[in-house]
Structure 1
Amino acid sequence: MSQAKNVGIVGVKAPEKACNDKNCPFHGNLRVRGMIFEGKLIKFRANKTGVFERVYLYYNSKYKRYERRRSRIRVHIPPCLDVKEGDNVIIGECRPIAKSVSFVVLGKVSS
């Protein structure tokens, strides 16, 4: 098994467990570039794929106040990471892995 790589994101440590997933940013050849988000993993039922949700504030200029909005993003979850539904995670953008998957989970956020 190859040693875990540094993905270059501050606050993200490489996992101790190894895997042979080619779409793992730590043990495969997947590059992380672009946007980085922090939020909650709400679904993890498919094989190595889950749904990530982030809640953010949007300013509505007509009513001059903020409203809460959410967006759901499909993410790839490498098998070397021990995450489950309900965990706060950090994700990073990568090349398209599937039709709707262009993000990968980088790790848990310490609470």
Structure 2
Amino acid sequence: MEAENKASCADKQCPFHGHLKLRGRSFKGYVTKKFPRRVVIEFERIIFIPKFERHMKKKTKIHARLPDCMKHSIEIGDYIEVRECRPLSKIIHFCAFKKIRSVNCTEKKIQPVETKAKGEKK
């Protein structure tokens, strides 16, 4: 797989075939949006609120660079790992590193919802 990606990836900002160095923090999350060269991942974290002495779940969204060699393998709903890199733009400070788990085909299909018009009886 690495050999076929080598020929097809001419991306300078690819951590595997280009000059982009990965360092620092890494996160795992689900892909919520996909753009031509960027993905948005979302994951939950638990924080402690001292005033109420309780824990609360919060969601975090991270924008990550999507290398050309991984563009066709990552879809919306996949569970991926991203790692920190130098700031590539105003909002992109991470790069997609590897795909951990793909979305099931059954979860991907959206069932149509039947709606009835006003005044229509079934």
Q: What's the counterpart of residue 66 of structure 2?
A: 77
Structure 1: gaps (5+ residues): 1-13
What aligned pairs does 1:1-111 form with structure 2 within 5 A after superposition? 17-18=5-6, 19-44=9-34, 46-81=35-70, 82-110=73-101
Normalised TM-score (structure 2)? 0.73
Paired-residue identity, %: 33
Letter in 2 for 1:21: D
Cα distance in 2, alignment partners of residues 15 and 67 from structure 1 = 45
Cα distance in 2, alignment partners of residues 33 and 16 from structure 1 = 26
Equivalent residue pairs, number? 97
Structure 2: gaps (5+ residues): 103-122
The root-mean-square deviation of aligned C-alpha atoms, in Å, is 1.7
Pair 25,63 (structure 1): closer, same or farther in 2 beyond 3 Å: same
Normalised TM-score (structure 1)? 0.80
Which consecutive segments of 4 or more residues in structure 1 shift more than 3 A? none
Q: Secondary structure at the match of 1:73?
A: strand
